Structure 1
Amino acid sequence: MTPLRVLLAWRPDGDPDGADTNTGTDTAAFVSWLSRTAEITVKPVTVIPRIWPEGVDRVDASDAAAVQRFEEWAAAESTACHAAARTALIDAGVPESMIDDSDELLHSHSETTALIRSAEEFGADLIVVGSRFGTSGGPVGRFRAGSTADALLHCAPLPVVTVPRTPTLSKHGVTRVSCAYVDNEQSHQALRKAADLASRWGVPLRLVAFSPTGASMYPTLTPFPDATEADERWRGQALDILARGRERAEERHPDLRVETEVGSGPGWSGAMDDVHWKKGEILVVGSSVLGAFNRVFIGPSTNQLLAHSPAPVLVSPV
């Protein structure tokens, strides 16, 4: 079987007191977790931001010298980051044979564009991004998108995996694939991706319908008098939806073990905490049909799943 090709958007461990930094240790741990599941080839890349506009051909002598110094610094920084990323991956337990050794200099005004271009040239199956760290980052065990991750989650042409801050991961690799399922085109694509991964890795597939209790998925100012009855009605509908999803998954992979579960509770946090999460879990979700075809584009519900999932999340394009 062809190894899974992983592009790791890597940054050095950021300043814990910084406003928008990332930690490379978490994403290295995730890649190591994948490497314990199946053969992979990982390419760590770091984008060096440009400080001069691209495509500027005419500069005076003083500017040319400054540009030259920047180019030399960018090359040195890129090499240092690649070496540090490689060391972090090895320290996390990734076999050296699974690490792509090509040292590519990426410097651009758009980190998102550079990452997508590099992923396409590498033939990546997915892009891995870490949680925002620092003062405005997420709590331990949860993901918060920084500016680059947020942009990728609205335009990437291939799956994006979000890694929670300081994730708790099984020593045995992926042990179950979960899929958020509501029986629409968005979740049909997620189901196909989740079923394919579960079959490839030889692990069970769990289909989950998440339902924040109440009349709305968000806090309300006035109580809905029939909320309990509506929640019970939705739970019955969710079980029917999951049964149809099970049939779809088993038609695609007849030997696949498929489980179903409904998670309900106050808010998205309560709904997601209502189900049991294994240390070896990865959650697969679909993109919104509001986005471009064959592109990742997260809607409000998916954004809530990313924020409250204790497991890494793979967002699949529609």
Structure 2
Amino acid sequence: MAKKSDSSKKSSPTGFAHNPVRVLVAWTPNSTGSAALDCAAWFSRTTNVEVRCVTTFLRPWPSRTGNKLGTKYKKWFKKEAAACEEAVKRDLIRADIAQEHLSSTVSVFRDGTNEAALLSDVAADFRADIVILGSDAAAPKGRFLAGSTADALLHSSPNPLALTPRKPSLSKRGVTRVNFAYTGDDTDNQALVRAAVLAAAWNVPLRVLALSPSGFGIPPIPDSVELPRDIALEWRENTLAVLDRARDTVHKEQPEVNVETHIGSGAGWQGAIDAVKWKKGDLLCFGSTPLGAFERVFIGSQATEILPYVSVPVLMIPATSKSSK
């Protein structure tokens, strides 16, 4: 089972609050895909982790009605939880996650009427550092499509969310590069610092990206009037200035991290993403739009549009609360 955290250390060598990193996987046994567990295994090859799975049962009746059903439902629930635990253990073995990375409580079975609320409650009980969500089954291979539960958590989760494409192609060496993307959303700059902390802890480089969906300077209609050259140059200079400030911020906070910058620009968000070369070891980080007093994930409109075109796992970092700044 996973090792206990060493509370005597002032900072965690894992890049998160805990060592081992507490990874909660939203998982349904006998699922058609194994992407979420594959992502957990990928993290286990990156740093020290403690993996726990949560399976939810959505019942159509409120809790009071469930109590009236009495012992029959309680017996069924207990039997189902035990069967679920056995199935989870088998699936974790298939995903090649070592026994030492499994939580002492490896499977949690919860019932309720709202799946997003159930996952948040279990994450709070576990004090999870990451919650891993798989893609909707309708997504193309290698792409992420948010279902209703993922969409709800992308606008409310206090925990970082790891979003896994369907049937991802992942490096056997774990995360080999952390990426942080600027998209034009009003995101919390502390997310860049948190991405740099991960790169430092995992001893991998950090790539800072500026993504533009417009293929800047290319007219949408052939043979139309071109955009004035000085405007295009000003856009590029402003973008380079943003990347320079990002590099300075990282060097100030994590001077040992190797930082590279890149501009991805193309026709639409797919063109912007495709303009950037991706590796099997890439993790893409997005910041959240600040919401005030609470530290929450809140995905911006630009990041929402980008997600369907990303072929690597994505880490959504909660915005820092104003009270903690």
Q: CA deviation at 1:55?
A: 3.0
Asked whether the equivalents of residues 214 and 228 of structure 1 are also in contact (C-alpha less than 8 Å), the reply is no
User: Taking structure 1 as reference, are residues 41 and 91 closer, same or farther at Cα in structure 2, changes over 3 Å only?
Assistant: same
Taking a change above 3 Å as real, the CA distance of residues 175 and 52 of structure 1, as seen in their structure-2 partners, is same
- Partner amino acid for 1:38? T
Distance in 1, Cα, partners of 2:63 & 2:36: 30
Does 2:271 match 1:262? no
Number of matched pairs: 299
**Equivalent position SS for 1:101:** strand
Q: How has the CA–CA distance of structure 1 residues 13 and 156 changed in structure 2, closer, same or farther, with 3 Å as cutoff?
A: same
CA distance in 2, matches of 1:14, 1:231: 48
Written as runs of structure 1 = structure 2, the 5 A alignment for 1:272-291 is 272-289=273-290
**Partner SS for 1:107:** strand
1:73 aligns with 2:76: yes
- 8 Å Cα contact 2:288-2:299 kept in structure 1: yes
Give SS of 1:289's match: coil
Amino acid at match of 2:100: S
Once the 2 structures are TM-superposed, how far is the Cα of residue 220 of structure 1 from its aligned partner?
7.8
- Residue 123 (structure 2) aligns with: 119
Matches within 5 A, 1:1-318: 1=13, 2-14=19-31, 23=33, 25-56=34-65, 59=68, 64=69, 68-102=71-105, 103-133=107-137, 137-181=138-182, 186-213=187-214, 225-227=225-227, 229=229, 230-289=231-290, 293-318=294-319
Deviation at 1:234, TM superposition (A): 2.3
Task: Compute the TM-score of the two structures, normalised by the length of structure 1.
Answer: 0.86
Aligned-partner residue type, residue 22 of structure 2 = R
Shift in Å, 1:57? 7.9
Between the aligned partners of 2:66 and 2:305, the Cα distance in structure 1 is 45
Identity across the alignment (%): 40
- CA 222–51 in structure 1, closer or farther in 2 if over 3 Å, else same: farther
SS of the counterpart of 2:116? helix
Q: Deviations over 1:1-27 (max 9, x none)?
A: 411111111113446xxxxxxx3x111
CA 1:231–1:106 in structure 2 vs 1: closer, same or farther (change >3 Å)?
Answer: farther
Write the distance in 1 (CA, Å) between the matches of 2:221 and 2:98.
54
| Deviation larger for 227-236 or 121-130 | 227-236
Distance in 2 (alpha carbons) for counterparts of 1:270 and 1:292: 36
CA shift in 2, pair 1:213/1:110, >3 Å: same
Q: C-alpha offsets along residues 225-259 of structure 1, whole Å, 9 cap, x if unaligned? A: 44474555423221111010000011010111001
Amino acid corresponding to residue 275 of structure 1 in structure 2? V
| CA separation of 1:256 and 1:276: change in aligned 2, threshold 3 A | same
- Cα distance change, pair 224–186 in 1 and its aligned pair in 2 (3 A): farther
Unpaired runs of at least 5, structure 2 = 1-12, 14-18, 320-325
Give 1:38 deviation, angstroms. 0.9
Q: Gaps (5+ residues) in structure 1?
A: 16-22
User: C-alpha deviations, 1:135-180, integer Å up to 9, x for none?
Assistant: xx11111100111111111100111110001001001110000001
Q: What SS does structure 2 have at the residue aligned with 1:213? A: coil
Q: Is the 8 A contact 2:179 2:209 kept in 1?
A: yes
State the AA in 2 paired with 1:5.
Answer: R
RMSD between superposed Cα atoms in Å: 2.6
Decide whether aligned partners of structure 1 residues 148 and 176 sit closer, same or farther in structure 2, where only a CA change above 3 A counts. Answer: same
The residue identity in structure 1 corresponding to 2:264 is G
Alpha-carbon distance between aligned partners in 2 of 1:265 and 1:251, rounded to the nearest angstrom:
31
For the structure 1 residues 140 and 253, does the alpha-carbon distance in structure 2 shift closer, same or farther, using more than 3 Å as the test? same
Residue deviations 1:170-205, cap 9 Å, x none?
A: 011100000013698615122012101101100000
